[in-house]
Amino acid sequence: MQDKLSFYIHRDSPLHRLNPLTKLTLTFSLILMGFLAPGYWTATFIFLVVLLPFSVWGKISPEFTRTTFRLILPLTLFLFGMQSLFYPGGKTVLFSFWIFSVKLEGVQFAYLTASRIMNMVGSFLLLLLSTHPSTLMTALTQRGLPPSLTYIIVSTLQILPQMRNKANTIIDAQRSRGLETQGSLRRRFGALLPLVGPLVFGSLVDVEERAIALEARAFKAKRIKTSLLLIPDSPAQSGFRLGLIALTMLAIGSRLWF
Amino acid sequence: MAIIEIENLTYRYPHTSQPALRDLSLQIEPGEFVAIVGANGAGKSTLCYTLTGFVPHFFQGELSGRVHVAGLETKEHPLEDIVLVSGLVFQNPFNQISGAKFTVYDEIAFGLENLGVPREDMPARIERAMALTGITAMAERSPYALSGGQQQRVALASMLVMEPQVLVLDEPTSQLDPLGSREVFAVIRELSREGMTVVMAEHKLEWVAQFADRVLVLADGQLVLSGPPAEVLTSPLLETYHIGQTRYTTVARRLQAENGWPAGQPLPVTLEEAEAGFKAALIK
């Protein structure tokens, strides 16, 4: 039973020890540059020359490549299929079969889109595989993100799988009382209310109790919150983040002015 | 001076016509272990929420009378001040896990972070709270990977780390199996022995009899009985209020009806009292 939604893999690596904000800045910079910087091969270049080496540096390259390709493969296949056959500006026919013809312009467009999506997915994965969600959220809270928002994001990672388990328990309980949950669409729809009702009402009670528990732990106290976790930073990392932001601005500027 | 003083408390939840608590007055001394018993809907949970400030600050509603907890008038102080002096642990251990932390150690630290406690002061307080509740070995485990009893001890530790003066427990073992209940009661007993003021709403009368200094009986929002466990838990009025009795009292009463219980021997509420009574009966 998975007890939390998280990609994080614990490793002892320089990438893991980077400040989460540095990694977050890198993520968004690479994504924006992949989409906005000129050049057909930019996103591919970023993936091969930046993301893959970083994943090796973080000792997560097998998981990184495996998860990236697993996530984008279905979309990529769909993209290539649709764009190569139906791309509006397609003129150069590569080959034909039956009533369909695969066009070069469609394939090129599909590759460009797929490479940008792969860059985006890879950038996020690099962050999520090497950064514990608690660490990331603590870093953001220390920089001004509202604690309530932080709590919503982090608690969802843990509570959602628990809710899923609870839903399964309710389904089993109702089935043991004779509720038919399989069969025709009508029967399945009829089973919905006895399943959804307990889950929704139970969740409302849970929400109130959790709110009480949070209040009892002074979550809404109007004090400056501290953190048990010490998140290291350095002038070098700070400079690196500024450099990334500057590069990203350059990429956006090149798009606007050229 | 009493650590808890309630005078003429009447409270009504929003959108209800009947008060949940009526004209209730009581005092609790520092270090006292007070148990609250009563049928469902008697007002036990409402009283627990009142002692921790959730009534009226969280639930709103109409509150009249005076509630004074550890030097704070609860109506006049914000909830964030009251929770520092009066900690609440309630029935469902799962819902008391914040979800914001991934280890037991960090979970216990959560309250300290919210209070702005300096980082360097946190480890000592966390370790003391874990030692008090017997969960030191679980420090690196996920709170969601624990049993109910273990989670409830984490909830207790998460309160204790904030160093409240009063610990209020609303049926803390109602959703636990016998082993989990025993673990939690052992911790509560130890806290009481160390001088913590404990107020506990509970249905398990055998535990109440064993640990409480005083028992309060609520019925329909009113305080109807108050006194030592031996006196309250053997009162014939308990049946009127739909409250049972301990197993020991039940057996002794049946013997008493058949003239099998020694005359002058008080009805027992604990195992030790029952043992003494049965020995006396056998000798007789």
**What would the pLDDT profile of A63-83 be if each residue is shown by its tens digit?**
999 999 999 999 899 988 888
Q: How far is Cα A130 from Cα A238, in angstroms, rounded to an integer?
A: 19
Percent of chain B with pLDDT over 90: 71
pLDDT for res A258: 64
For residue range B128-152, what is the model confidence (pLDDT) as tens digits? 999 999 999 999 999 988 998 999 9
| Residue B171: both structure tokens together | 């049926």
Q: How far is Cα B211 from Cα B178, in angstroms, rounded to an integer?
A: 17
Q: Which residues of A lie inside 8 Å of B (Cβ-Cβ)? A: 3-4, 132-134, 150-151, 154-155, 158-159, 162, 206, 209-230
**AA identity, residue B248:** Y
For residue range A121-157, what is the model confidence (pLDDT) as tens digits? 999 999 999 998 888 888 988 888 888 888 887 787 7
Residue of A151, A217, A228 with shortest CB distance to B119:
A228
Residue B200 main-chain phi, psi, to 5 deg: -135, 125
Contact call for A211 and B100, based on CB within 8 A? no
pLDDT for res A166: 77
* Residue B158 contacts A where some CB pair is shorter than 8 Å: yes
Contact call for B80 and A212, based on CB within 8 A? no
Taking CB atoms and an 8 Å cutoff, what residues of chain B touch A132?
102
Contacts of B44 by beta carbon, 8 Å cutoff, 6+ apart: B36, B37, B38, B170, B171, B201, B218
B35 CB burial (10 A radius; 0-12, 13-18, 19+): buried
Q: What is the pTM of this model?
A: 0.81
Contact call for B119 and A226, based on CB within 8 A? yes
The CA distances from residue B190 to B183, B184, B197, in Å, are: 11, 10, 12
Q: Is the pLDDT of residue B245 over 80?
A: yes
* Residue B111 contacts A where some CB pair is shorter than 8 Å: yes
Residue of B54, B97, B114 with shortest CB distance to A218:
B114
Contact call for B114 and A3, based on CB within 8 A? no
**AA identity, residue B157:** A
Distance from CA of A242 to the nearest CA of B (A): 29
Mean pLDDT of the A92-115 span: 88
pLDDT for res A158: 72
| Residue B157: both structure tokens together | 């530790």
Tell me how far the alpha carbon of residue B82 is from its chain's centroid.
17
Contact call for A217 and B117, based on CB within 8 A? no
Mean pLDDT of the B255-276 span: 88
Least confident of A64-78, A94-108, A183-197, A199-213: A183-197
pLDDT for res A2: 47
Band of residue B52 on the pLDDT scale cut at 50, 70, 90? very high
Distance from CA of A138 to the nearest CA of B (A): 10
Q: Is the pLDDT of residue A257 over 80?
A: no
**Interface residue of A217, A222, A231 to substitute, partner B, most B CBs within 10 Å:** A217
Residue of A213, A220, A225 with shortest CB distance to B113:
A225
Mean per-residue pLDDT of chain A: 87
* Residue B118 contacts A where some CB pair is shorter than 8 Å: yes
CB B20 within 8 A of CB B221: yes
* Residue B127 contacts A where some CB pair is shorter than 8 Å: no
Beta bridge partners of B211: none
Contact call for B80 and A220, based on CB within 8 A? yes
Distance from CA of B230 to the nearest CA of A (A): 33
pLDDT for res B284: 63
Q: How far is Cα A124 from Cα A139, in angstroms, rounded to an integer?
A: 17
Distance from CA of B50 to the nearest CA of A (A): 13
How many residue pairs from chains A and B have C-beta atoms closer than 8 A? Answer: 107
Mean pLDDT of the B191-201 span: 93
Burial track B82-92 (b if 16+ CB lie within 10 A, e otherwise): bbbbbbbbbbb
Taking CB atoms and an 8 Å cutoff, what residues of chain A touch B106?
134, 228-229
pLDDT for res A4: 57
Contact call for A209 and B88, based on CB within 8 A? no
Taking CB atoms and an 8 Å cutoff, what residues of chain B touch A217?
83, 98, 110-111, 114, 158, 162
CATH of region B4-245: 3.40.50.300
Q: At what angle do helices B148-160 and B122-133 cross, to 10 degrees?
A: 140
Contact call for B92 and A158, based on CB within 8 A? no
pLDDT for res A153: 79
Three-state DSSP state, A212: helix
Three-state DSSP state, B46: helix
Mean pLDDT of the B54-60 span: 94
Mean pLDDT of the A211-239 span: 91
pLDDT for res A157: 74
Contact call for B116 and A226, based on CB within 8 A? yes
Band of residue B56 on the pLDDT scale cut at 50, 70, 90? very high
For residue range B9-39, what is the model confidence (pLDDT) as tens digits? 999 999 999 999 999 999 999 999 999 999 9
CB A252 within 8 A of CB A33: no
* Residue B154 contacts A where some CB pair is shorter than 8 Å: no
Taking CB atoms and an 8 Å cutoff, what residues of chain B touch A206?
92, 94-95
Mean pLDDT of the B179-202 span: 91
Q: How far is Cα A173 from Cα A181, in angstroms, rounded to an integer?
A: 12
Q: How far is Cα B197 from Cα B70, in angstroms, rounded to an integer?
A: 10
Band of residue A102 on the pLDDT scale cut at 50, 70, 90? confident
Mean pLDDT of the B169-193 span: 89
* Residue B140 contacts A where some CB pair is shorter than 8 Å: no
Cis preceding linkage at A146, omega within 30: no
Contacts of B94 by beta carbon, 8 Å cutoff, 6+ apart: A162, A206, B148, B151
Mean per-residue pLDDT of chain B: 93
Q: Is the pLDDT of residue A162 over 90?
A: no
Band of residue A5 on the pLDDT scale cut at 50, 70, 90? low
